[in-house]
């Protein structure tokens, strides 16, 4: 049986923020798969528990900030009334708030398991909570991929994308240089 890993995103994708978000969503799906695998395991797996804690502590909150502070506001400014994007973005923002709370509960359970070296799935209530979180997160990502990213491809200007890429890079301690068709992160 192969086990899921959470791959790193090539930093050059910061210059292509829509592709960055698509790759980031793929990573989040990998994390969801790993959560389900860890929840189903009856044996404690320290490296995977540590990896998930790091993801829930750092990557998930950073992604929510990327979308809530930069990506969604930019879309709201650029979309046309017929795009009906406000309803979808409002729902996704509400889910982000709930996701942060649920992710915190999953993280707290994983931390307790790390301390006791007990498999997270041995607690049936927590196992169900972990799987429910993963299923909800996967649904959320599918909605973003199917609706939000295609609309962004249509509505965001090259200048918007450059600015968005620079903000994503800065949040990661990087500086994005875009000059004469060449970009680096």
Q: Is 110 inside any structural domain?
A: yes
Residue 184, pLDDT score: 42
Which CATH number belongs to the domain containing residue 58 in this structure?
Answer: 1.20.120.520
Number of domains in the chain: 1
What local confidence, expressed as pLDDT, does residue 178 receive?
Answer: 59
Whether 185 is covered by a domain: the verdict is no
Expressed as residue numbers, the domain containing 85 is 14-174
Task: Tell me the whole-structure pTM to 2 decimals.
Answer: 0.90
The verdict on residue 60 lying in a domain is yes
Q: How far is residue 40's CA from residue 146's CA, in Å, rounded to a whole number?
A: 29
Where does the chain have alpha helices with state H? Answer: 17-40, 46-54, 60-65, 72-78, 85-116, 124-143, 149-155, 158-171
Q: At what angle do helices 17-40 and 46-54 cross, to 10 degrees?
A: 140
Residue 183 is assigned to a structural domain of this protein: no
Q: What is the pLDDT along the chain (185 residues), one digit of tens a residue?
A: 567 889 999 999 999 999 999 999 999 999 999 999 999 999 999 999 999 999 999 999 999 999 999 999 999 999 988 888 999 999 999 999 999 999 999 999 999 999 999 999 999 999 999 999 999 999 999 999 999 999 999 999 999 999 999 999 999 998 877 544 444 44
What integer pLDDT is reported at residue 1 of this predicted model? Answer: 54
Domain assignment present for residue 9? The answer is no
Residue 8 lies in a domain: no
Cα separation, 110 vs 63, whole angstroms: 20
Query: How many other C-beta atoms can be found within 10 angstroms of the C-beta atom of residue 81?
Result: 7
Residue 7 lies in a domain: no
Please check whether residue 105 lies inside any domain of the structure.
Answer: yes
């Amino acid at each position: 049986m192969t086990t899921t890993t959470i791959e790193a995103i090539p930093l050059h994708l910061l210059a292509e923020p829509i592709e960055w978000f698509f790759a980031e969503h793929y990573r989040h799906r990998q994390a969801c798969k790993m959560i389900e695998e860890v929840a189903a395991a009856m044996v404690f797996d320290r490296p995977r528990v540590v990896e998930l804690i790091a993801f829930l502590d750092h990557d998930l909150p950073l992604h929510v900030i990327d979308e809530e502070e930069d990506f969604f506001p930019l879309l709201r400014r650029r979309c046309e009334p017929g795009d009906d994007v406000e309803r979808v973005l409002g729902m996704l923002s509400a889910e982000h708030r709930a996701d942060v709370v649920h992710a915190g509960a999953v993280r707290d359970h994983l931390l307790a398991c790390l301390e006791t070296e007990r498999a997270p799935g041995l607690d049936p209530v927590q196992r169900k909570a972990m799987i429910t979180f993963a299923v909800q997160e996967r649904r959320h990502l599918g909605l973003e991929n199917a609706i939000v990213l295609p609309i962004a491809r249509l509505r965001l200007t090259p200048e918007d994308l450059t600015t968005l890429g620079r903000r994503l890079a800065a949040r990661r301690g990087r500086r994005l240089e875009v000059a004469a068709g060449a970009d680096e992160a």
